[in-house]
Structures are given as C-alpha cells and as structure tokens.
A = this chain, B = another copy of it.
Amino acid sequence: MTPAPAHVAGAGMIRFGKYPADVTLESMAVRAAHAAMDDAGATASQVDAVYVGHVFGGPVAGQRIAVQLGLDGLPVSNHENYCASGATAIREAWTALAAGLHDVALVIGVEKMTDRVAGGVRPDPGDLDAAMGFVMAAGHGMSARRYMADHGATRAQIAAVAVKNHAHSVHNPYAQYQRPVSLEEVLGARPIAEPLGLLDCSPISDGAAALILCTPRGLARLGIGGTTPRVLGCALVSGSVQLGTDDLNAEDVSRRAAEQAWELTGVGPEDIDLVEMHDCFTIAEIVRLEGIGLIPRGEGARWTELGHTRIGGKLPVNASGGLLSRGHPVGATGVAQACELTWQLREQAAGRQVDGARVGLAYCKGGTVSGTDGGSVTTLVISR
C-alpha cells in the first residue's frame, strides 16, 4: 500500500551561509518556519505537529525551536540521519499525515555548523577507516580517480559540475555563494583530495529551511484551494560500501533508493523533469545521477560538459546551486531541496526557473562511505 501524498502548502528558508555566534540555531529555524507559515498563510494555532531534522543541535533542539515559535504544546520530534536528516523529517511527517495522525505538519531542517563543527564534520572516533585517512573527501577523491580511469572522463568534466552549480545559484537569493566561478578557478583551487580541489567540495554552512505539509483536510483548514505541489513519497534505504569491492562507483544504495521511489510513487525515471542532487562533492553529483538511473553509466561527466544538466538542458540538476553553491548545513539540506522543488513546480524560481517542470526528485545521502557505517539515502518525489 502506498501512503497518500502530502500537499506542500508552504515553503520557506533563510539564506545559507556562515552566521555569527549570536545567531542561534533556534533563531534560524524560527525564521525559516515563519517564512513557510507565511507562504502557506498558516498561523501557529493551525499547525498540528512539528518534525525537525538536525544532526548537531543537541537533545530536544526541536522543542527549543517550538517554544520560540509559540508551538510548545504540540507533538515535536527530532530526526537524525546525518546529511539526510531533513529529508527523513519530511518522510516522517508525510507518513504521519498519510496515517491520519495530523492534518498540518511543520517540517524544519536546521544546522548551525560554524558553532559546532568549525573545522568540518569529524568522523566517529571508532571509524578505523577514517582514522587511517579515509575521510569523506578522500573517499570522493578515490571515486573521481576511479571514474576517470573507468570511463575516460577528464578532470575538467568533473570540475564542470561546480561551474554549473555556481552559475545556477547566481539566481538563488538563498544561496551561500551567488557569483559565478570559472573552470579555471575550479581547476586552480587549493587541492583537498586530489584530483578534487576546494571548489569541488561543499562548504561549511549554517542555515534552515521549512515546509508546511498538509492532508486535503489540512489544506481546507488553511483555506488553500486550487492545486499545490504534492510530496508523492520519500524512499529511505541504507547501505554500506565495502572497501575492496570491485567497483567503488557502483552506487548500489542509490539504485535501490531510486527503485523504491518509483515503486512508492508510481513515477518513473522518464517522468523526472529536474533533480536536486546531493552534490557534497562534484564527482558525487555525477555518480549518484548514474546510480539512480537518470544518466547512463559512465556518461555523467560528458553530460555535464555538454550542458545536459544545466537549466535549459535535458535534465536540469541543482537549479538551486546544490550543496556546492547553495551551501550544506547538513540537517537543513533535504528540506531546502524540497523548497526548491516546490518553487520550481509553482514556477516561482525566477532567473533559475526550469520551464514547464512537472515532477522533481530530491536525493540526499547521509553517513559515511566507510565499511562499517551504513549511509542512508532518501529519494523524495514532488509533483506539480
């Protein structure tokens, strides 16, 4: 049985970036929540429940946020799946609406990275692979080398992902970076994990994003007529990458997440008009698009170079700027992706609009790629 879709009645976020210490996690979440509530025309008394995704906010961060929103009597819950935390909160809210538990849910994704993880997200102390140097950037560097060797891709084709995503977010007022970067800048940036350089990596970011999700009865409560974008479903799968397997870029976990999304939503890969893809590193955008079956295996780098994944191309990817350029406050990312899809499907994306978009897919991956941790992948489908 497929749970019923959830209507997206409102979407709102704050600009991602590095905020000073006196801008709290709670205040960022409150601003994003108010933006989503205003967008939906919803008042606090019309909200039934609050679902919060975050990683580093500390115990009951969602409850502290709810108090500041005047929502402290409601059901509030905190959901963590590393970089897929925001998407997981959406999934839980969608499920609760489908079950008939609530009619109007506020979903918030939030992270204050600069306070908590100033030098970057550190691996778990028990992660032996990371202790030996296999940190996240190193894994993606290996992925890029393997990809280049297997498919004859060039360094410049991989770098073109960053050029594209930065070009997109010139038109996104919520993006951390809003200026174009050239191919030369990407290729000439400080090396991080070769062949990847600084501009191949998503930044440390603070930010918050929020959605109002509704049942049909919830829409009526808010006085919303006409059509709204609908969350058709959100698949969640986990999986670990075993080092020493034949193929570092097999992306089995992505393939399974996509298959479950198609099964859950009745939508197929041919229906997807735009993608918000978890491009924590340039190469990740490429191998994950291939993993979910939207680009043939080994073709992603060439597609990028040819402009197929640009706005106006045959499969626009990260019209928002993606993690690379919109920024990546980890718990907020999945909700920001859903905001972007909502605005695109409503044709409110102005200079970055994907014309005629009817169905969008948002993909998040949380957790490391090491052998003992299982990463989680979410595939969220929103339709016009």
Residue numbers of A with Cβ under 8 A of B are 1-4, 24, 49, 55, 58-60, 63-64, 66-67, 72-82, 88, 91-92, 95-96, 98-101, 124, 126, 235-240, 256, 366-367, 372-376
Contact = CB atoms under 8 A, between A and B. Distances in A.
Contacts of A67: 240, 372-374
Interface centre among A49, A88, A101 (most CB of B within 10 A): A101
Contact of A64 (B2, B72, B78, B373): B373
A136 to B, nearest CB: 12
A369 B99 CA distance: 31
Say how many copies of this protein the assembly contains: 2
5 contacts: A59-B80, A64-B374, A76-B238, A95-B96, A95-B101
The list of the 10 closest CB pairs from A to B, nearest first, reads A1-B100, A63-B374, A75-B236, A98-B99, A3-B99, A99-B99, A78-B80, A72-B374, A60-B367, A76-B238
A63 B375 contact: yes
A256 B98 CA distance: 24
B3 A100 contact: yes
Nearest to A372: B67
A374 B91 CA distance: 23
A7 B91 CA distance: 22
A235 B49 CA distance: 11
A373 B49 CA distance: 17
Contact of A73 (B3, B4, B88, B256): B256
A77 B81 contact: yes
Nearest to A25: B126
A27 to B, nearest CB: 12
B76 A60 contact: no
B374 A60 contact: yes
A49 B77 CA distance: 19
Nearest to A253: B73
Interface centre among A2, A88, A256 (most CB of B within 10 A): A88
